[in-house]
Amino acid sequence: MAGGKHSQLTLLTIGTVILLALVVLTLRLHRLTELPPGLHHDEGTHAVNALQVLQGEHAPFFPENNGREGMIVYAIALMTSFLGRTVLAVRLPTALISAGAVFVLFWLGWILFGRDEHSGRPTPWRGLLIGGTGAGLLAVSLGQTVIGRTALRGSFLPFFLSLSLALLWWAWSHDEQPSSSNDKPTGQSPADHSGQAARLRDYWRIALAGMCAGLLPYTYITARFTPFLFLLFGLSFLLPFVRNGDGKKSGEVSSPPLLFRLIASPSRTEWQKAGIFVLVAGLVAAPMLIHFALNPDHFFLRSSQTWVFDSERNLGNPLGTFLSNLWGYVLAFGFRGDLIWRHNLVGEPVLNLWQALFFWLGVGAAVWHWRTRPAYRLLIFWLALLILPAVLAREITSVPPNTIRMIGAIPAIYLLVAVGLWEAFLFARRRFSQLAEVRAGAAFASLVGLAILVQGAFTYRDYFHRWASAPEIHRYYGTGWTDLIKIANDQPADGSVAFLVPGYLWQYSFEYLYQGEAPVHLVHTAMPDFAHQIESAVKTSASLSQVKVVDWSNDVIWAGDEDQRLAVLFDKYGRYMGTEQYADFQIKNYAEISLDRPWTLYEFLDPLTVNYDGGIALMGLAAGQGIEQQSSQSPLNLKEGNPFWLALQWQTAPELGVDFAVSLRLHDAQGSNVFQRDYVLWKPDHSSTGAGGQTEPFDSLHLTEFPADLPFGDYELRIVVYDTESLKPTVELGVWEAETTIAHLHYTDSK
């Protein structure tokens, strides 16, 4: 009979592992080179740091782009050395570690619940069902599928934290568990080994657990809370009101000796184990600790930007903002989802309603038994401490929950769902079922397995169809950049063609993936002396015959007024050869590039002083068509068929706080408004006028094509400056009119 139970358990275990492998490998690895499309700029930053590592620039922490811990960088560097500079090399490490976390969680659940807390006897069915259910739910999680398939450093945290706890639990309880040939080998010492050999193996397991714990600071910022988990859980055994499995308080003699008695009444061996764990963890973490000691600003680099008690984020209401954050994460269990596309199918909660029901049941059971069941106590501490970093962080532009910030608590969350299911199963079995333990367990496991498979089918549909087809995904992951890379890679390598690409954040992805020979220059208006920098970029190739200027669609990648500035420059110093249209951008081609005189956006600025009551002033004007600049002191002679460019110089008051836009209006001789274009005013660093910062004068550039049916004749060019939020115009001081004439135009045909 015992042999039959053992064979059933073995078959079910093997089946569970095979099923987990099929599900998680499908959801994490299927079409990984295609989905997500492109590379998010955070992924690109990781990848560029990986190239630096391959070039010999090593560091435990990389401060670029708000800072990143080094584990993901080194993992991508390793994969790049094998697969080259590809999207797969960037994403495969996190996809594999996300899949591996499923199997580690299965083992951890078995380790934690595979032995009865009261008697010490094996409870393999409980371990299998809780471990298998928790791992299965993690495998089919939609949010973890999205995160696992994206190169986000947070994916490493659940794997190494779960592995460290599993090794620690296994090693510490190993020599206290009786051996049985029918038991699942979850920590039993073989009977034929000497006590000294068994103790040595335990020390090795403790050292491995310490190594995994020491690697946690290299994973993700929220891992900084994990030392509190290890410390508080260990200290909890010393509390006088904590009782062991047979009802005795900590420190009282009980039989059989179990894990919690060992810690509550530590012997020399237990102190040695604790010392080994702390020593190994400290040695492994030492490079990161030394880095932060030498660079304390790096330690607070990201947390200082999201601290919930910062007045800029809580708007003077720290307690209310904290409680609002906390409530947002409570709602993540069944009611509210992450609104960030790279974390989730927007709006889908971490747990659906049926999972949330059993989660709260599991939380209730764990709280009820926290004094007598160490595994339950561990899960409660784990949930509370690793969700706390998320609650303490707040973005001005988003609302909780943020799934990646709570990723350290994800294994505990799914194990608590499994605990709730187990407690419900025990209740139902006692009240309604007369089936034997094995038959009842097998029936329950089959039912839960079927539910997880159904959930997996929904996750497959939601990810590969609903999430993948959302238009926001292509913008979020910058698919235009991968399309541009393919085009640039096809260009000749003789230097006859060069690309100018406006961009600000996305250059990391391009820098990693582009391997062609054609010169590609990433430019933005924050570059000092913009026109001269563009001229210098064009001069880098002696055999240059064509320049391709990329003009992004604003709903894909917003590049401020860089496209306007580049168009003005190349209309002045090159010959327009036509435009190539693509899904996310267009490429304007220019030939006959003139390099015989210095490049400038304008040669001179006509003085013009218009002071507005809104705290902004118009200081000067430059205008022209093509290479010819004209003085606005006399009527501008503009010809049909050529764009008209206008440069305006502005000065804003300190701490303005208002975002302004301009409306350029063309009035005919009768005073009628016959043409109008509106533009938001952006500073060279892509900030609005109300963003604060620099108060020195800045230029805005506007390139305008008149409609084909505009009659020839004389016109007035007038300007209105208005608040983009209220649409209320600001008026000129002393004149008290919103509309100001800034130039006169004479519009004729092109002959």
Phi-psi label, residue 402: left if phi above 0, alpha if psi -120 to 50, beta otherwise? beta
**Is the dihedral angle over the CA atoms 519, 524, 527, 531 positive or is it negative?**
positive
pLDDT at 253 (0 to 100): 39
Written as one letter, the residue type at 472 is E
Tens-place pLDDT, residues 47-76: 999 999 999 999 999 998 889 999 999 999
Burial class (CB within 10 angstroms; exposed 0-12, middle 13-18, buried 19+) of 56: exposed
Low-confidence ranges of the chain (pLDDT < 70): 1-5, 174-195, 241-267, 433-438, 441, 504-506, 526-527, 693-694, 751
Contact 480, 552 (CB under 8 A): yes
Give the 3-state secondary structure of 392-411: CECCCCCCCCCHHHHHHHHH
Closest-CA residue to 167 (of 6, 25, 13, 276): 276
pLDDT at 256 (0 to 100): 37
Cα separation, 72 vs 81, in Å, equals 14
pLDDT at 540 (0 to 100): 83
* Architecture of domain 606-748 in this structure: Distorted Sandwich (2.70)
Contact 742, 721 (CB under 8 A): no
pLDDT at 690 (0 to 100): 87
Strand partners, 197: none
pLDDT at 251 (0 to 100): 45
Domains in the chain: boundaries: 2-472, 478-591, 606-748
Rg from Cα positions in the chain: 33
pLDDT at 3 (0 to 100): 58
Tens-place pLDDT, residues 370-424: 988 999 999 999 999 999 999 999 887 788 999 999 999 999 999 999 999 999 9
